[in-house]
Amino acid sequence: RERRPDRAIETNVEFWAAVILDFAEVPAHMMPAMFTCGRTAGWCAHILEQKRLGKLVRPAALYTGPEPRTPESVDGWDLIR
pTM above 0.75, yes or no: no
How is the chain split into domains, by residue range? 13-79
pLDDT digits (tens, 9 = 90+) for 36-75: 888 899 999 999 999 999 998 887 888 889 999 999 999 9
> DSSP H helical segments within the chain, as ranges?
13-23, 31-53
Instruction: Tell me the residue type at 81.
Output: R
Other CB atoms within 10 Å distance of the CB of residue 31: 16
Task: Using CB atoms within 10 Å of the CB of residue 47, give its burial: 0 to 12 exposed, 13 to 18 middle, 19+ buried.
Answer: exposed
Q: How far apart are CA 59 and CA 73, in angstroms?
A: 32
